[in-house]
């Protein structure tokens, strides 16, 4: 990457210098706008000046990234001077950038043939051949480069890589040996040779190369790690362990080595030493937070499946990771996952928030926080967090949804409806999210007594999911409380009890709809089922009302008393108990 960047910078300098020279040479000649536009020279001097102007303008467009305008200008240059190698090179470069490799090869070949000792022209042709996987042709060009520039080790190294790519390992190795004999061994050269020798199944020679590298600088821990990794890869676990332990004497917290030892000790069933090695790796800030989170994900998977030991180890490691990377999104989020799995819900929310508060790009983190708040009914937190989420991610719908949910729970129905209506604009293709918006709008608008908007929201929700028990239940119950569309309410209440029989809330809804229809005996039967074993104040009060309507006043009083003891505080309930009858 460094060499390529250097080459590009040098070439840009050469092109700029060429353009300036052409420009300066041609300043004495006036070029009319008619000549530039038509591209028709009126003489040799004007032709030279026109070519210079077009070339400079084309280079400017190319360097600004305007490839099509640059291409057009270079093609005009080509018309003026078909044999110009620099123009052919530029055309080849632009066609390659545009993805037209065949045309790129055509012009790169012309440039390379025009000037065989220009390395930039030859390298463009090599790149074009490699893009088409024409490796044999690329090798021929590289061989010429090595011949024409014998002092450039880069060209020999690139040719060695190209030989290896086509499986000509002997030629590749010979070139590496030539480079080493001229310039001495280097880390990258040795690693390339080792990779090549492994491909040739010459493992002993590969081992010798790595040992030479270690001997060249005995205090360089990285070289010892290369040798240890080689032993581990080739199945010599004991030698791998010995070399890893050498590194630990130099660098006890080295994360790469400790992770390798963790794998080794796990394979050899030494769990205690494996855990020690992993703990040391996690204590080192050089092991990044993302890698630690990926390792913890494996523990989480096992813990989620019920492995108590994985949960315990995962919690310890996640706590260590948070201590080392206190502001990292990955570590805070992962620790929160483990805390949640361990039922430390309030602490989990705290770390989800820490993960989110340091994150302004990863929406998933914020989404997890909102779902966590909602799941554990932390509606004050949900309102605060969703408001922040709406501000940071204004085009994401969940922030608006959960803000609507939180404000509905808090009784701030106008704020809820505003957030929900705003957020609906960002629901593009998710029926489930749209359903959540609509059913919450149905609730909030009902409490605002905007019954038309409430009914419309519920009806739109049922178009998405006709069997949604939440919508069917709330719509039926709200209709019954209003005393409107009672036949529709009965239909919905009956349906939900067929879909999910035995649910106390759904049986209460059906019973109350029947009650509002003055079907008191049927209502009593259903409300009895709901009240049996229930301690819900509203359910008990409803059952008491049905009993009263059926002439069972003493039993009704007992049920109303139970409702008050269960937390019922409505004025209607207090009045029933005070006057000992149902106020019709």
Distance of CA 274 to the CA centre of its chain: 31
What is the four-CA torsion angle of 294, 297, 299, 305, rounded to 10 degrees?
-160
**pLDDT tens digits for range 243-265:** 888 888 888 878 888 888 898 88
List the one residue out of 472, 418, 423 whose CA is nearest residue 445. 418
In order, the DSSP letters of 393-435 are -TT-HHHHHHHHHHHHHTT-HHHHHHHHHHHHTT--S-HHHHH
In order, the DSSP letters of 14-56 are HHHHHHHHHHHHHTTS---HHHHHHT--SSHHHHHHHHHHHHH
pLDDT at residue 32 greater than cutoff 70: no
Mean pLDDT of the chain: 88
Asked if 366 and 356 touch (Cβ cutoff 8 Å), the reply is yes
In this prediction, residues 401-420 reach a mean pLDDT of 98
What pLDDT was estimated at residue 244?
85
What pLDDT was estimated at residue 151?
86
What pLDDT was estimated at residue 521?
97
**pLDDT tens digits for range 470-527:** 999 999 999 999 999 999 999 999 999 999 999 999 999 999 999 999 999 999 999 9
Asked if 91 and 56 touch (Cβ cutoff 8 Å), the reply is no
Q: CA-based angle 323:310:292, to the nearest 5?
A: 40
What pLDDT was estimated at residue 99?
92
CA distances from 32 to 36, 39, 138, 281 (A): 7, 10, 44, 72
Phi, psi (degrees; rounded to nearest 5) at 220: -90, 105
Q: Which has more confidence, 573 or 220?
A: 573
What pLDDT was estimated at residue 43?
57
List the one residue out of 553, 492, 481, 473 whose CA is nearest residue 516. 481
What pLDDT was estimated at residue 256?
85
pLDDT at residue 202 greater than cutoff 60: yes
What b/e sequence results for 132-167 when a residue is b if at least 16 CB atoms lie within 10 Å of its CB, and e otherwise?
eeebebbbebbebbbeeeeeebebbbbbbbbbbeee
Percent of the chain with pLDDT over 90: 65
The two structure tokens encoding residue 21: 């020279």
The two structure tokens encoding residue 273: 């030493």
In this prediction, residues 287-313 reach a mean pLDDT of 95
What is the four-CA torsion angle of 568, 574, 575, 581, rounded to 10 degrees?
70
CA–CA distance, 393 with 22 (Å, rounded to integer): 54
**pLDDT tens digits for range 132-190:** 999 999 999 998 999 999 888 889 889 998 888 888 888 988 888 888 888 887 888 88
What pLDDT was estimated at residue 441?
98
What pLDDT was estimated at residue 268?
84
**pLDDT tens digits for range 521-571:** 999 999 999 999 789 999 999 999 999 999 999 999 999 999 999 999 889
CA distances from 570 to 365, 563, 575, 577 (A): 41, 10, 9, 11
Asked if 521 and 550 touch (Cβ cutoff 8 Å), the reply is yes
CA distances from 166 to 96, 131, 495 (A): 23, 15, 70
**pLDDT tens digits for range 376-389:** 899 999 999 999 99
* Helical ranges in 269-396 per DSSP H: 271-283, 289-304, 308-324, 329-341, 345-357, 363-375, 379-392
Going by C-beta distance under 8 Å and a sequence separation of 6 or more, which residues neighbour residue 392? 360, 366
What pLDDT was estimated at residue 461?
98
Distance of CA 160 to the CA centre of its chain: 38
Count of CB atoms situated within 10 Å of the CB of 56: 18
DSSP-derived 3-state class of residue 176: helix
pLDDT at residue 391 greater than cutoff 80: yes
Asked if 167 and 200 touch (Cβ cutoff 8 Å), the reply is no
* Helical ranges in 448-584 per DSSP H: 451-464, 469-482, 486-499, 504-516, 520-531, 537-549, 553-565, 571-579
What pLDDT was estimated at residue 263?
85
What pLDDT was estimated at residue 5?
34
The two structure tokens encoding residue 219: 């205090």
CA–CA distance, 71 with 90 (Å, rounded to integer): 8
In order, the DSSP letters of 418-481 are HHHHHHHTT--S-HHHHHHHHHHHHHHHHHTT-HHHHHHHHHHHHHH-TT-HHHHHHHHHHHHH
pLDDT at residue 112 greater than cutoff 70: yes
Q: How many CA atoms within 13 Å lie on the side-chain side of 342?
A: 22
What pLDDT was estimated at residue 123?
94
Q: Which has more confidence, 516 or 5?
A: 516
Q: What is the 3-state secondary structure (H, E, C) of 256-272?
A: HHHHHHHHHHHHCCCHH
**pLDDT band at 23; cut points 50, 70, 90:** very low
The two structure tokens encoding residue 444: 């909030």
What pLDDT was estimated at residue 584?
66
In this prediction, residues 352-367 reach a mean pLDDT of 88
What pLDDT was estimated at residue 29?
29
**pLDDT band at 75; cut points 50, 70, 90:** very high
In this prediction, residues 120-135 reach a mean pLDDT of 93
In this prediction, residues 431-446 reach a mean pLDDT of 97
Asked if 21 and 55 touch (Cβ cutoff 8 Å), the reply is no
pLDDT at residue 30 greater than cutoff 60: no
Q: Long-range CB contacts (< 8 A, 24+ apart) of 148-157?
A: 148/116, 148/117, 148/119, 149/119, 153/179, 153/182, 153/183, 154/3, 155/119, 157/189, 157/192
In this prediction, residues 399-416 reach a mean pLDDT of 98
The two structure tokens encoding residue 540: 């008990």
pLDDT at residue 35 greater than cutoff 80: no
Helix axes 537-549, 504-516, angle to 10 degrees: 30
What pLDDT was estimated at residue 13?
39
Distance of CA 475 to the CA centre of its chain: 39
List the one residue out of 118, 50, 105 whose CA is nearest residue 81. 50
Q: Is the dihedral of CA 441, 446, 450, 454 positive or negative?
A: positive
What pLDDT was estimated at residue 364?
87
Count of CB atoms situated within 10 Å of the CB of 426: 17
């Amino acid at each position: 990457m460094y060499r390529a960047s250097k080459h590009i910078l040098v070439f840009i300098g050469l092109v700029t210098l060429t353009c300036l020279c052409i420009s300066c040479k041609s300043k004495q000649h006036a070029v009319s706008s008619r000549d530039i536009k038509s591209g028709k020279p009126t003489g040799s001097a004007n032709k030279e000046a026109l070519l210079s102007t077009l070339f400079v303008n084309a280079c400017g467009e190319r360097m600004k990234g305007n490839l099509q305008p640059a291409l057009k200008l270079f093609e005009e240059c080509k018309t003026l001077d078909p044999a110009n190698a620099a123009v052919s090179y530029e055309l080849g470069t632009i066609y390659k950038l545009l993805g037209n490799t065949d045309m790129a090869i055509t012009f790169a070949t012309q440039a390379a043939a025009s000037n065989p000792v220009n390395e930039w022209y030859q390298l463009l042709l090599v790149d074009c051949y490699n893009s088409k996987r024409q490796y044999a042709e690329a090798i021929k060009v590289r061989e010429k480069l090595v011949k024409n520039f014998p002092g450039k080790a880069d060209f020999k190294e690139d040719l060695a890589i190209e030989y290896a790519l086509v499986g000509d390992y002997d030629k590749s190795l010979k070139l590496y040996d030539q480079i080493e004999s001229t310039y001495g061994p280097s880390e990258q050269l040795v690693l390339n040779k080792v990779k090549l020798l492994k491909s040739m199944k010459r493992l002993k020679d590969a081992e010798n190369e790595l040992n030479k590298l270690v001997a060249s600088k005995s205090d360089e821990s990285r070289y010892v790690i290369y040798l240890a990794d080689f032993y581990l890869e080739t199945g010599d676990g004991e030698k791998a362990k010995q070399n890893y332990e050498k590194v630990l004497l130099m660098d006890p917290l080295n994360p790469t080595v400790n992770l390798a030892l963790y794998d080794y000790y796990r394979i050899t069933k030494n769990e205690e030493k494996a855990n020690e090695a992993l703990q040391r790796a996690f204590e080192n800030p050089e092991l990044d937070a993302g890698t630690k989170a990926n390792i913890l994900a494996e523990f989480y998977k096992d813990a989620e499946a019920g492995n108590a030991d994985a949960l315990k180890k995962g919690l310890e490691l996640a706590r260590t990771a948070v201590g080392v990377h206190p502001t990292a999104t990955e570590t805070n989020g992962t620790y929160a996952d483990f805390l949640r799995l361990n039922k430390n819900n309030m602490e989990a929310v705290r770390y989800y928030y820490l993960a989110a508060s340091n994150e302004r790009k990863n929406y998933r983190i914020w989404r997890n926080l909102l779902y966590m708040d909602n799941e554990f009914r932390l509606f004050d937190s949900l309102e605060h967090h969703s408001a922040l989420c709406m501000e940071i991610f204004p085009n994401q719908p969940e922030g608006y949804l959960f803000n609507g949910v939180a404000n509905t729970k808090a009784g701030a129905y106008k704020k809820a409806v505003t957030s929900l209506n705003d957020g609906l604009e960002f629901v593009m293709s998710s029926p489930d999210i749209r359903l959540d918006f609509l059913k919450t709008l149905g609730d909030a608008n009902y409490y605002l007594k905007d019954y038309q908007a409430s009914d419309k929201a519920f009806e739109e929700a049922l178009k998405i999911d006709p069997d949604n028990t939440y919508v069917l239940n709330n719509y039926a119950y709200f209709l019954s409380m209003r005393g409107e569309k009672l036949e529709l309410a009965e239909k919905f209440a009956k349906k939900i009890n067929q879909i999910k029989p035995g649910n106390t809330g759904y049986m209460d809804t059906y019973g109350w709809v029947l009650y509002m229809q003055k079907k008191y005996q049927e209502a009593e039967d259903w409300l009895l089922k709901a009240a049996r074993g229930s301690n819900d104040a509203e359910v008990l009060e409803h059952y008491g009302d049905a009993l009263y309507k059926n002439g069972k006043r003493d039993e009704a009083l007992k049920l109303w008393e139970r409702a008050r003891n269960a937390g019922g505080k409505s004025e209607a309930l207090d009045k029933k108990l005070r006057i000992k009858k149902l106020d019709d």
